[in-house]
């Protein structure tokens, strides 16, 4: 872009031509000579939710056609691995003492073909003495049956372990409040449903394990593979090809991947594995699953002074990442965008006989927003005021320097009222309320609901708050950017290329981005927590600036000039002395000259952030509810999401669109369900309500930029904002549509059946 910066412009994604023509190369697509002769692994999974293993009979399976070996925890010599969050909750990668959820791997069959392994897996007989299945979080907390006997309780983590006090008795904490409202909210369990299910392939080559995995960050995953194989770190190379969606669930490492290296060792040949969709629904980490007890109090004119939350987090069957979501992410963000002087939050994590939970787009922050936004709605309804007005009078005032909430979380910069104003204006809020009033007065069957939410979230908050980048220039003037972030749809190749091009002038089509390979990029933080642009992108920007400075020194030498007189003509991609552009040195000239001096034209750098950033925004959802059937139609979604400076509005809108779709899906459709015995009843996409374009309106996105001081680009995260703002707005809109009928709350998902039941229940009590 001659004469100006490319940043801030709608640049089409470099990635798209490949995906729209030849298609991506995903883990199960890998064709590599090192995988020639690979055997296929299929895992035998528990059909019981909870029980003691008395025997595993593999004899019949072992003799079936094509079967090479059948392994259990015993034959592989697996030892229990303690959880870092509760060491008493230890387990083996293949269940050995007991099974803890339906689908847990118990044994593995390795055969010549996948079909042979799948057939043989059906003939492995696992004798399980059943134990009571604990599916409900509160029932698990109260039960004398312990999923981990050594833990002595099903409560496996609590904020008191972090030195946080118990919540005060409500009658004392809220004693000075004129109005108090309590609620019990379920932020239901959802499945990530990436279009690409998990797959992996492993081969030992010259004493090193090379393994392909579908991951959100191979560098962070490496330690688990080192431990599983009992080798030094330099003996492991992990590679991530194209990834068909992650949404947080592919941050974790899983037994099915970790065991391929040991299987390949025992067998003396490469091993491949891929899961079915049903296996993915039962075993890829689930999200959310948080029960919230909320009390909010304040004055009758609308000022909120007190807020108390007890979040019960479902860890699922394993004490993994899901265990820490409420204590580490929901608790500090409990205040949301509101200036509430008195806040208390307790978080308790409990194990249940269900699929383990993990990070899911937002990871604890959507839950915090959902709780406070639902509480604000109920408070407004109790005092008879408009929910947008009540929100406005409680907002933290605009700030450009760090602000610390009463719960102790420090935000960077914020203008919450500005976001609310833009969203309400774009939605035509007054006109919507007038239409709603008219429908109510007319007694229409189809009622209008308007939901408002305002949110703030934390991005780039996981330590260490840093990312590495490397940029090298080739003899032909092309550049290669190496990044520790991992792309699975976000558009990193486009954004990182834009950042490098903007500083160097090297054409975008001459810049290649390399990621997802621990040999080529040994250090990296991966992609999670909306950290990539503000840390990975900032590192690329910093590296490009340093590369230009390095190149200027070399150009000055070649041009026989003072370095201060050398300038970079970005349009030409060449360096020259000020005032004499006819004599110049291109990037290719400089790369060749550097090699002649025995060096490379390369920069390696690490960007370190001083703190996290805190994107914010406001959403307005409009729905129509058929009061005869409970059917909800999502009519509009207006979103103002402020992620600081915008590098590429096209990428920004794409992230917002995807986030809104997931957030609206949780509000209206999605729910993982189990029967009383712990059997999953939503284990495929016929039974699980994953949203499609048919159920969604066209989104109305309003841009707002409040740059942060935390990085030179002024950018914040955007990948999870849509899920955080949309869900409470849509849920609120559904409740609002039928609030005049006496309905005060409807748990998600607001299915037609659930809405119909709420209307009928309110009518019965009117």
pLDDT for the residue numbered 295: 98
Specify whether 450 is located in the same domain as 539: no
Q: How does residue 687 score in pLDDT terms, banded at 50, 70 and 90?
A: very high
pLDDT for the residue numbered 392: 98
Does residue 142 sit within a domain? no
The residue from 608, 634, 654 where one domain ends is 608
Coil/strand/helix, residue 49: coil
The residue from 562, 584, 608 where one domain ends is 608
Among residues 394, 321, 311, the alpha carbon closest in space to that of 363 is found at: 321
Alpha helix locations (H) across 39-84? 59-62, 73-76
CA 644 to chain centre: 20
CA 297 to chain centre: 32
Does residue 517 sit within a domain? yes
Specify whether 640 is located in the same domain as 585: no
Q: How does residue 753 score in pLDDT terms, banded at 50, 70 and 90?
A: very high
Sort residue 312 into left (φ over 0), alpha (ψ -120 to 50) or beta.
Answer: beta
Instruction: Tell me the C-alpha distance between 274 and 196, whole Å.
Output: 10
CATH number of domain containing 598: 3.30.365.10
pLDDT for the residue numbered 3: 60
pLDDT for the residue numbered 766: 57
Rg (alpha carbons) of the chain, rounded to whole number: 28
Specify whether 483 is located in the same domain as 551: yes
CB atoms within 10 A of CB 72: 20
Specify whether 352 is located in the same domain as 241: no
Specify whether 622 is located in the same domain as 601: no
With 70 as the cut, is the pLDDT of residue 456 above it?
yes
Q: Bigger pLDDT: 141 or 4?
A: 141
Average pLDDT of span 384-412:
98
Among residues 596, 600, 573, 601, the alpha carbon closest in space to that of 586 is found at: 573
Average pLDDT of span 33-56:
98
Average pLDDT of span 492-505:
98
Does residue 170 sit within a domain? no
With 60 as the cut, is the pLDDT of residue 2 above it?
no
Q: Give the rounded percent of residues in the chain with a pLDDT score beyond 70.
A: 99
Does residue 329 sit within a domain? yes
pLDDT for the residue numbered 416: 98
Per-residue pLDDT tens digits for 603-635? 999 999 999 999 999 999 999 999 999 999 999
Domain count, the chain: 3
CA distances from 615 to 457, 505, 674, 708, 741 (A): 6, 30, 35, 9, 36
Specify whether 403 is located in the same domain as 352: yes
The residue from 577, 608, 639 where one domain ends is 608
For all residues of the chain together, what is the average pLDDT? 97
Specify whether 71 is located in the same domain as 208: yes
Specify whether 583 is located in the same domain as 691: no
Any idea what the Cα angle at residue 273 is, between residues 272 and 278, rounded to 5°? 165
Per-residue pLDDT tens digits for 581-596? 999 999 999 999 999 9
Q: Bigger pLDDT: 762 or 765?
A: 762
685 preceded by a cis bond (ω within 30 of 0): no
Specify whether 122 is located in the same domain as 54: yes
Specify whether 426 is located in the same domain as 310: yes
Does residue 639 sit within a domain? yes
Specify whether 701 is located in the same domain as 620: yes
Does residue 201 sit within a domain? yes
With 80 as the cut, is the pLDDT of residue 714 above it?
yes
* Residues contacting 229, CB < 8 A, separation 6+: 209, 235, 236, 261, 262, 265
Q: Bigger pLDDT: 763 or 741?
A: 741
* Pair of tokens at residue 25: 């190369």
Q: In terms of DSSP bridges, do strands 580-586 and 602-608 run parallel, antiparallel, or are they unpaired?
A: unpaired
* Pair of tokens at residue 90: 């230890």
Does residue 177 sit within a domain? no
Q: Is the dihedral of CA 57, 58, 61, 62 positive or negative?
A: negative
Does residue 190 sit within a domain? no
CATH number of domain containing 217: 3.90.1170.50
Are the C-beta atoms of residues 355 and 103 closer than 8 Å to each other? yes
Domain range enclosing 477: 462-608
Q: Give the rounded percent of residues in the chain with a pLDDT score beyond 90.
A: 98
Per-residue pLDDT tens digits for 181-226? 999 999 999 999 999 999 999 999 999 999 999 999 999 999 999 9
* Residues contacting 122, CB < 8 A, separation 6+: none
Specify whether 292 is located in the same domain as 429: yes
Strands (E), 25-174: 39-45, 51-57, 67-72, 81-82, 90-91, 98-99, 105-111, 125-130, 155-158
């Amino acid at each position: 872009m001659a004469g100006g910066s490319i940043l801030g412009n709608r640049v089409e994604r470099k990635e798209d031509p490949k995906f729209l023509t030849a298609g991506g190369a995903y883990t199960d697509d890998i064709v590599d000579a090192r995988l020639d002769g690979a055997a296929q692994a299929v895992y035998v999974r528990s059909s019981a939710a909870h029980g003691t293993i008395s025997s595993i009979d593999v004899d019949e399976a072992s003799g079936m056609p094509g079967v090479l070996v059948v392994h259990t925890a015993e034959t592989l010599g697996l030892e229990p691995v303690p959880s870092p969050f509760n060491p008493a909750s230890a387990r083996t990668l293949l269940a050995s003492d007991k099974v803890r959820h339906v689908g847990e791997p118990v044994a593995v069959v390795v055969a010549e073909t996948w079909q042979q392994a799948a057939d043989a897996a059906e003939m492995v007989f696992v004798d399980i003495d059943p134990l009571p299945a604990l599916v409900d979080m509160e029932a698990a907390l109260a039960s004398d049956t312990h999923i981990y006997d050594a833990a002595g309780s099903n409560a496996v983590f609590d904020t008191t372990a972090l030195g946080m006090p118990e919540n005060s008795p409500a009658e004392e904490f809220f004693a000075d409040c004129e109005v108090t409202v309590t609620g019990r909210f379920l932020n239901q369990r959802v499945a990530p449903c990436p279009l690409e299910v998990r797959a992996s392939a492993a081969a030992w080559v010259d004493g090193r394990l090379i393994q392909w995995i579908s991951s959100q960050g191979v560098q962070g995953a490496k330690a688990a593979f080192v431990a599983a194989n009992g080798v030094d770190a330099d003996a492991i190379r992990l590679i991530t090809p194209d990834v068909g969606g992650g949404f947080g669930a592919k941050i974790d490492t899983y037994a099915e991947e970790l065991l391929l290296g040991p299987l390949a060792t025992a067998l003396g040949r490469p091993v491949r594995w891929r899961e079915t969709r049903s296996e993915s629904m039962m075993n890829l980490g689930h999200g959310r699953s948080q029960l919230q007890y909320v009390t909010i109090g304040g004055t009758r004119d609308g000022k909120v002074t007190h807020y108390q939350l007890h979040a019960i987090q479902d860890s699922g069957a394993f004490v993994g990442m899901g265990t820490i979501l409420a204590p580490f992410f929901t608790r500090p963000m409990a205040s949301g965008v509101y200036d509430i002087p008195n806040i208390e939050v307790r978080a308790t994590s409990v194990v249940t006989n269900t699929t383990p939970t993990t990070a899911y787009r937002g990871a604890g922050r959507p839950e915090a927003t959902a709780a406070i936004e639902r509480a604000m709605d109920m408070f407004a309804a109790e005092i008879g005021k408009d929910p947008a007005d009540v929100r406005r009078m409680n907002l933290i005032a605009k700030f450009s320097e760090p602000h610390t909430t009463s719960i102790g979380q420090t935000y960077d910069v914020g203008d919450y009222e500005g976001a609310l104003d833009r969203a309400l204006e774009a939605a035509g809020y007054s006109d919507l309320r007038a239409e709603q009033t008219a429908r109510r007065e007319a007694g229409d069957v189809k009622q209008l609901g308007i939901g408002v939410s305002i949110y703030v979230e934390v991005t780039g908050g996981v330590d260490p708050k840093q990312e590495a980048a490397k940029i090298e220039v080739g003899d032909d003037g092309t550049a290669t950017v190496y990044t520790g972030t991992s792309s699975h749809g976000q558009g990193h190749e486009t954004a990182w290329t834009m950042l490098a091009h903007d500083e160097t002038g090297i054409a975008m089509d001459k810049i290649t981005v390399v990621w997802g390979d621990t040999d080529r990029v040994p250090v990296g933080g991966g992609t999670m927590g909306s950290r990539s642009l503000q840390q990975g992108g900032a590192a690329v920007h910093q590296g490009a600036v340093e590369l230009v400075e390095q190149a200027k020194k070399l150009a000055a030498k070649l041009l026989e000039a003072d370095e201060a007189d050398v300038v970079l003509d970005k349009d030409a991609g060449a360096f020259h002395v000020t005032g004499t552009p006819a004599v110049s040195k291109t990037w290719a000239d400089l790369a060749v000259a550097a090699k002649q001096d025995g060096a490379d034209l390369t920069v390696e750098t690490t960007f370190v952030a001083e703190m996290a950033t805190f994107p914010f925004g406001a959403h307005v959802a409009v729905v129509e509810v058929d009061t005869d059937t409970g059917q909800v139609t999502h009519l509009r979604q207006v979103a103002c999401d402020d992620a600081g400076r915008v590098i590429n509005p096209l990428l920004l809108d794409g992230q917002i669109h995807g986030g809104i779709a997931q957030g609206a899906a949780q509000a209206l459709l999605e729910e993982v369900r189990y029967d009383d015995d712990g059997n999953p009843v939503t284990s495929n996409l016929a039974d699980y309500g994953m949203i499609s374009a048919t159920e969604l309106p066209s989104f109305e996105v309003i841009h707002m930029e409040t740059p942060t001081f935390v990085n030179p680009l002024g950018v914040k995260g955007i990948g999870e904002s849509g899920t955080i703002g949309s869900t409470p707005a849509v849920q609120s809109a559904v409740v609002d549509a039928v609030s005049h009928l006496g309905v005060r709350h409807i748990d998600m998902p607001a299915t037609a059946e659930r809405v119909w039941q709420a209307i009928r229940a309110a009518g019965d009590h009117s």
